[in-house]
């Protein structure tokens, strides 16, 4: 046995409660190394021990490792792994790898006690959400009277200037709600809408007012009311890491230096305030965004007030948190208590670009923007920087990084206002951006569309990715829009995509192909990708599937599926995918 | 390179801030596999990246792995490991092992932002504490008037009955404070003292009164005042997992079943209450201890009130939490806020018998009873169940399980009211129990003495380990007491034992020997054990040490130390140890 490969983390993605009497455990071993493995477990207070034995199931692999999982019954558990290869059997506990069972029960792994409050739970609607990200200055101009001075004509072909304006506003969103409803999305994330000098408004001047170029409180209230009437939820963007330089407390610090009553609201290295070189901490390195000192009690209070105010005043459905690592964990716990006390099903969605275990333990956020998956999708489908085996490895890493209850609520994107657009990465190739979209809507997690991706918008790095939305339908890529509408409808119709488990069942380096299975209750979906330039005959054997499936139909391309007993064959054109739906055999 | 062995956890024991601009990272690789490794890191917002390179230091090994560590400067870090063996160089990031540096900075590991509140911090005095655990019913009888009916004569030779009483009380502790002061301890943990029918009082009837057999509020206040006058802190035991059956709310549930207003205070499976088979959840399986439902808001409020009451009323210095897994994490966070708001330097010490990462992230407890180390010490020194290499592996596992700021505050024991006594495990061999004590007082973490171990008390499993403390000095093992006094004095005199870093520098399977280095500022201690039946000449070479040390003296045995340049030789009798003190060379 390759002993160095054996690994178990007895918390987070390695061991987590899924119900008050159910705990999932995961184990890693070297790829292809184990003949089988099982968990020997029981109530931790039973002396002598009374054992249950649960066979572990292989849930994935990457180039180096196999990953196993099992569900255990009970709420106060001790457990040990028993690993078998063809030559030996080893016990794996906190005492390491041993040939004998450790007699001391305290050296076994434990999940000491399951508590309801320790089970990760996000609002139920999150898993059903299909999000649409709107950058309000560029989505639609509904009220030209509030256009900022110097507003330039609305044109998809113009390249946005860093500080330019096109006149988009909340009234524009209201007017385009029929478009969004027809598209099928049921949740909006608006990038910041509070008063701010910039077009992106990530530099807040007043956290308690709607930017006058976007409308006013009444416009926001009307927008949200109309959204709610249509079953569309609205999440706002909270920028608590930093402010604008025109934020009054910062202006006071600039004017009065160390004697300002706001001096400790920011992270000032030395007074008086200088900008070159800057004498204060900022977002990244921009002097225009002084960093708030989130350790300051008044700043913490301000953040809670902002959270409360918009929940109360506009009935918003949650907060997306910008540069969310800029505040400490204690603040986010307080934020959660504050938000949930007012609206228990409001969501909290943090922006972290790496794995976010520290924030996803149930005490802070409901979800994170899943940029680690984003990079994997772009690298595999859009740029081709990685092949199928590496893509599979990245998926597997994310699959085992978080507890299962987290997974269906992770917010997946294939582009945002902070990235080049997906179609820019494919250099206009809508086959490849289409594959990314098919993956987005069928894989586990909540899909979020960046406005305009559905009509094939192009755009490179910020600010180019923030071009005005084309409303002249002649500028749309209609096949892309058709694809998005079908994918959205499919996801809304089939809980298997929203609630199902997932397993990568096939990958193929030669053809750069990948396939995954999803299942929920009796429903089954198999999604297979030919991510290569050549036509490809995909062949899945029954051994690739954890259980038998009944007759499958291709709901995307209406291709015929050649099913013969357990084996499934389907022809895929270059850079194409099939979405096969069916039921578990006998289901 | 043995790729399967490479591992990094980007949080908890793998990556943690130690100051607002310092972050420690750890890496695991196969034993002896790497020629060297380094961390390439920088500010995560620098584009293009500006790199710093930090060589990693090997801090330990076990049978399978080497463990490396490095300290990084900065407060918003991206980092990648660069691993070299004699044939290849690999990058290790969230993208896995790659031959090239991942260009996408988001795929490197990140510690996104250091915040003051996210740095684990325990009250400063904890690291300096030398704890003494008192089981009040058995420590000293200061007031025979409050002896329970049926109290039996105070005799160390009697075997305690499960439900018997000897008459120990708080007045007894007050009278023995000179003994404790002379011994040198500076912190007491009293097992429960609130009203309860049992001798151990782990089944509370009234959380707000001192058990009348132990004294009253005035006695407790006097005890704590006298302790504080002597610089001794007092920690009480909070039993919030369960109560006594005579706890009034439980009696109400027994009487009124589902209609009791306390019905949801407990975890009742069915009404009416039955005890055989029991129809309610309990501690372990004992019907005498119904489990509190810590999810109930009134129960949560009760727990906070208890915490507050004794801090306010008796000025206690902290809480030890019994069966601490019985309440959820959210409750412990609330408990921390409650306690620290009243007395910021009160400590919170949880009882968890396994690794306790989930509770030691700075948001819940200051420390845990380090029973994982306990088992390692007993297995190595007392019973000989494991050899030096396995002991080293267990130490290394614990060393890398927690962030460094946690380590100096972990409460280490070699016995408690819940275990057989250390000398019972050695079958009376005070050489071996002495080695365990030497380890306890010189290794990293806070030593806690179980009352009477210092005079060589014997006692098997509970209740035998709870015999009355002998106050007839003729019953004492005086060499053991002398050893304890010297070890306590050494620890109090030398910050290196209380504040120092630690590294295991030597182990030897043949002689079952182990040695570790501790260092703090200029001070250095080397502790070496001959844990075998034969005399042993220990020989350390300069290569075993991370830096040169000056002249060493043996402060325990006054043996001569044969130092020749970098090499150190010392003769050790069977089952003996040397504690060598000195300074870093030139220090």
Closest CA relative to residue B295, chosen from B335, B330, B338, B250:
B330
**pLDDT of A312-328, one tens digit each?**
999 999 999 999 999 99
- Asked if the model's pLDDT at residue A244 lies above 90, the reply is yes
Q: What is the nearest CA distance from B246 to chain A, expressed in angstroms?
A: 23
Dihedral of the CA atoms A486, A491, A494, A500 (nearest 10)? 150
Q: What's the rounded Cα separation, in Å, for the pair A97 and A27?
A: 13
* Model pLDDT, residue A586: 64
CA distance A53 to A40: 5
First to last CA, chain B: 39
pLDDT, residue B511, reads 83
**Residue A40: Cβ within 10 Å count:** 18
Active site residue A322: yes
What are the residues whose beta carbons fall under 8 Å from the beta carbon of A98, sequence distance 6 or more? A90, A91
Q: What is the pLDDT of residues A341-366, one digit of tens each?
A: 999 999 999 999 999 999 999 999 99
Q: Name residues 288-327 of chain A within 8 A of B (Cβ).
A: 294-295, 325-327
3-state secondary structure at position B64: coil
Tell me the residues of chain B between 380 and 409 that have a Cβ less than 8 Å away from chain A: 390, 393-394, 397
Provide CB contacts within 8 A for A286, sequence distance 6+: none
Tokens of B327: 């309440």
**Those residues with Cβ within 8 angstroms of residue A474's Cβ, 6 or more apart along the chain or in another chain:** none
pLDDT in tens, A153-199: 999 888 999 999 999 999 999 999 999 999 999 999 999 999 999 99
Pair A108, B375: CB distance under 8 Å: no
Q: Could you say which of A9, A110, A353 has the minimum Cβ distance to residue B106? A: A353
The verdict on A76 touching B (C-beta cutoff 8 Å) is yes
Report CB contact under 8 Å: B333, A363.
yes
Measured in angstroms, the CA of B108 and the nearest CA of chain A are apart by: 8
What pLDDT score does A558 carry?
Answer: 80
Q: What is the pLDDT of residue B509?
A: 85
Nearest-by-Cβ selection for B325 from A65, A113, A372: A113
At A366-384, the pLDDT tens digits run 999 999 999 999 999 999 9
Q: Could you give the strand order of the β-sheet that contains B15-19, starting from the edge strand earlier in sequence?
A: B15-19, B22-30, B65-73, B57-61
- Which of chain B's residues have a Cβ under 8 Å away from the Cβ of A363? 329-330, 333
Chain B residue nearest residue A357, CA to CA: B11
Integer angstrom CA distances of residue A285 from A264, A276, A278, A327, B70: 20, 11, 9, 17, 26
Residue B153 forms contact with A (CB below 8 Å): no
pLDDT score for B542: 87
DSSP 8-state class, residue B381: I
pLDDT (tens place) for every residue of chain B, 587 residues total: 999 999 999 999 999 999 999 999 999 999 999 999 999 999 999 999 999 999 999 999 999 999 999 999 999 999 999 999 999 999 999 999 999 999 999 999 999 999 999 999 999 999 999 999 999 999 999 999 999 999 999 998 889 999 999 999 999 999 999 999 999 999 999 999 999 999 999 999 999 999 999 999 999 999 999 999 999 999 999 999 999 999 999 999 999 999 999 999 999 999 999 999 999 999 999 999 999 999 999 999 999 999 999 999 999 999 999 999 999 999 999 999 999 999 999 999 999 999 999 999 999 999 999 999 999 999 999 999 999 999 999 999 999 999 999 999 999 999 999 999 999 999 999 999 999 999 999 999 999 999 999 999 999 999 999 999 999 999 999 999 999 999 999 999 999 999 999 999 999 988 899 999 999 999 999 999 999 999 999 999 988 899 999 999 999 988 889 998 778 999 999 999 999 999 998 64
Residue B153: CB atoms within 10 Å: 8
- Whether the per-residue pLDDT at A16 is higher than 70: the answer is yes
- Which residue carries 């596992």 as its tokens? B397
CB count within 10 Å of CB B36 equals: 12
Q: Which of A295, A333, A355 lies closest to B333 in CB terms?
A: A333
Give yes or no for A363 touching B (CB within 8 A).
yes
Tokens of B503: 């590294």
Question: Which residue out of B351, B355, B366, B453 is catalytically annotated?
Answer: B351
Angle at B584 between CA B583 and CA B587, to 5 degrees: 80
- A204-232 residue pLDDT tens: 999 999 999 999 999 999 999 999 999 99
| Residue of B113, B121, B286, B293 to mutate when probing chain A, most A C-beta within 10 A | B113
Q: Shortest CA distance to B177 belongs to which of B227, B218, B221?
A: B227
Mean pLDDT of A43-66: 96
B94 touches chain A (CB under 8 A): yes
pLDDT of residue B558: 80
- pLDDT at res. B439: 98
Q: Does A95 touch chain B (CB under 8 A)?
A: yes
Helix (H) or strand (E) holding A136: helix A136-139
For residues A408 and A446, give the distance between their C-alpha atoms in angstroms, rounded to a whole number: 7
Shortest alpha-carbon distance between residue A550 and chain B (Å): 37
User: In terms of DSSP H, where are the helices of B160-263?
Assistant: 170-175, 177-183, 217-229, 248-256
What pLDDT is recorded for position A422?
98
What average pLDDT does chain A have?
97
Pairing of strands B513-520, B523-530: antiparallel
pLDDT over threshold 70, residue A482: yes
Set of chain A residues whose Cβ sits within 8 Å of the Cβ of B294: 115
**pLDDT recorded at residue B586:** 64
Q: Do A64 and B393 touch (CB under 8 A)?
A: no
The answer, for A229 touching chain B at a CB cutoff of 8 Å, is no
Residues A87-134 have pLDDT tens digits of 999 999 999 999 999 999 999 999 999 999 999 999 999 999 999 999
Total residues found in chain B within this entry: 587
> Which of A46, A300, A353 would best serve as a mutation to test chain B binding (most B beta carbons within 10 A)?
A353
H or E stretch including A77?
A: strand A77-84
* β-bridge partners, B134: B190
Short-list A71, A106, A182, A199, CA closest to A147: A199
Nearest to A405 by CA among A78, A128, A24, A59: A24
Nearest Cα of chain B lies from the Cα of A259 at a distance, in angstroms, of 23
Question: A576-583 and A553-554 as β-strands: parallel, antiparallel, unpaired?
Answer: antiparallel
Inter-chain residue contact B325 with A76, CB threshold 8 Å: yes
CB-CB neighbors (< 8 A) of A354 in chain B: 10, 94, 106, 109-110, 112
B578 within 8 A of B572, measured Cβ to Cβ? yes
Q: What's the number of CA atoms in the CB half-sphere (13 Å) around residue A357?
A: 24
CA dist list (Å): A580 to A129, A370, A503, B431, B561: 22, 25, 15, 72, 77
> Considering CB atoms only, which of A11, A331, A372 is closest to B94?
A372
CA distance B551 to B522: 13
Which residues from chain B sit within 8 angstroms of residue A293, using beta carbons? none
Q: In 10 A of CB B229, how many CB atoms?
A: 9
Residue B34: the pLDDT is: 98
Percent of chain A with pLDDT over 90: 96
Taking CB atoms and an 8 Å limit, are B325 and A295 in contact across chains?
Answer: no
Give the distance from residue B105's alpha carbon to the nearest chain A alpha carbon, in angstroms: 10
Q: How far apart are CA A449 and CA A470, in angstroms?
A: 16
Angle at the Cα of A38 (from A33 to A39), degrees rounded to 5? 130
Interface of B with A in 507-566 (CB under 8 A): none
C-alpha B236: how far from its chain's center? 16
Tell me how far apart the alpha carbons of residues A280 and A272 are, in angstroms, rounded to a whole number: 10
Across the interface, whether the CB atoms of B10 and A354 are under 8 A apart is answered: yes
Distance CA B130, CA B125 (A): 10
Take residue A58 and report the two structure tokens written for it: 């292989």
Identify the pLDDT of residue B510.
80
A50 and chain B: CB distance < 8 Å anywhere? no
B336 at interface of A, judged by CB pairs closer than 8 A: no
pLDDT band at A565 (very low <50, low <70, confident <90, very high): confident
Q: Do A10 and B325 touch (CB under 8 A)?
A: no
Full DSSP string of B423-435: HHHTTT-HHHHHH
Q: Is A100 on the interface with B (CB under 8 A)?
A: no
* A150 exposure class (CB count in 10 Å sphere: 0-12, 13-18, 19+): exposed
Q: Active-site residue among A169, A351, A366, A424?
A: A351
Instruction: Name beta bridge partners: A233.
Output: A187
Tell whether A5 lies on the interface with B, counting CB pairs under 8 A.
Answer: yes
**Per the CB < 8 Å rule, is A118 touching B3?**
no
């Amino acid at each position: 046995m390759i002993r160095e490969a054996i690994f178990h983390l007895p918390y987070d993605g390695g061991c987590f409660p899924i119900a008050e009497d159910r705990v999932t455990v995961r184990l890693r071993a070297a790829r292809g190394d184990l003949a089988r493995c099982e968990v020997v477990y029981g109530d931790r207070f039973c002396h002598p021990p009374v054992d249950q034995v649960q066979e572990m199931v292989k849930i994935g692999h990457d180039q180096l490792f196999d990953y196993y999982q099992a569900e255990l019954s009970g709420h106060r558990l001790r457990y040990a792994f028993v690993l078998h290869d063809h030559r030996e059997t080893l016990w794996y506990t906190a005492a390491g790898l041993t040939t004998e069972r450790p007699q001391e029960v305290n050296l076994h792994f434990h999940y000491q006690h399951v508590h309801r409050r320790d089970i990760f739970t996000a609002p139920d609607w999150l898993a059903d959400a299909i999000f649409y990200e709107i950058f309000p200055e560029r989505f639609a101009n509904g009220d030209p009277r509030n256009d900022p001075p110097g507003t330039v004509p609305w044109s998809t072909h113009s390249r946005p200037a860093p500080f330019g304006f096109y006149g988009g506003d909340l009234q524009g969103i209201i007017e385009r709600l029929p478009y969004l409803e027809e598209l099928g999305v049921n949740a909006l994330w608006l990038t910041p809408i509070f008063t701010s000098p910039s077009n992106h408004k990530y530099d807040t001047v007043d956290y308690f007012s709607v930017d006058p170029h976007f409308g006013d409180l009444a416009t926001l209230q009307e927008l949200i009311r109309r959204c709610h009437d249509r079953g569309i939820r609205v999440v706002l963007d909270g920028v608590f890491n930093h402010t604008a330089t025109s934020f009054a407390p910062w202006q006071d610090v600039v004017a009065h230096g160390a004697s300002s009553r706001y001096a400790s609201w920011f992270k000032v290295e030395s007074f008086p305030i200088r900008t070159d070189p800057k004498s204060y901490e900022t977002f990244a390195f921009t002097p225009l965004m002084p960093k708030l000192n989130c350790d300051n009690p008044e700043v913490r209070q301000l953040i809670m007030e902002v959270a409360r105010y918009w929940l109360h005043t506009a009935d918003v459905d949650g907060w997306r948190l910008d540069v969310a690592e800029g505040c400490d964990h204690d603040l986010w716990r307080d934020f959660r208590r504050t938000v949930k006390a007012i609206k228990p099903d409001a969501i909290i969605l943090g922006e972290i670009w790496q794995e976010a275990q520290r924030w996803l333990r149930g005490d802070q956020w409901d979800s994170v923007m899943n940029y680690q998956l984003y990079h994997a999708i772009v690298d595999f489908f859009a740029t081709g920087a990685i092949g199928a085996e590496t893509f599979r490895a990245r998926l597997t890493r994310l699959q085992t990084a978080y507890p299962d209850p987290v997974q269906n609520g992770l917010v997946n994107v294939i582009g945002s206002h902070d990235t080049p657009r997906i179609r820019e990465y494919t250099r206009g190739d809508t086959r490849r951006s289409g594959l990314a979209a098919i993956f987005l809507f069928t894989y586990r997690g909540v899909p979020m569309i960046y406005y305009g991706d559905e009509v094939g918008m192009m755009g490179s790095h910020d600010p180019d990715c923030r071009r005005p939305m084309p409303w002249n339908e002649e500028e749309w890529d209609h096949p892309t829009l058709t694809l998005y509408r079908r994918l959205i409808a499919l996801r809304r119709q089939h809980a298997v995509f929203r609630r199902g488990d997932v397993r990568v069942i096939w990958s193929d380096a030669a053809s750069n192909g990948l396939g995954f299975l999803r299942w929920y209750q009796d429903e089954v979906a198999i999604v297979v990708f030919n991510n290569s330039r050549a036509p490809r005959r995909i062949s899945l054997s029954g051994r690739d599937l954890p259980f038998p499936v009944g007759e499958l139909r291709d709901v995307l391309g209406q291709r015929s599926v050649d099913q013969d007993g357990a084996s499934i064959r389907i022809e895929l054109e270059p850079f194409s995918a099939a979405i096969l739906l069916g039921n578990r055999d006998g289901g």
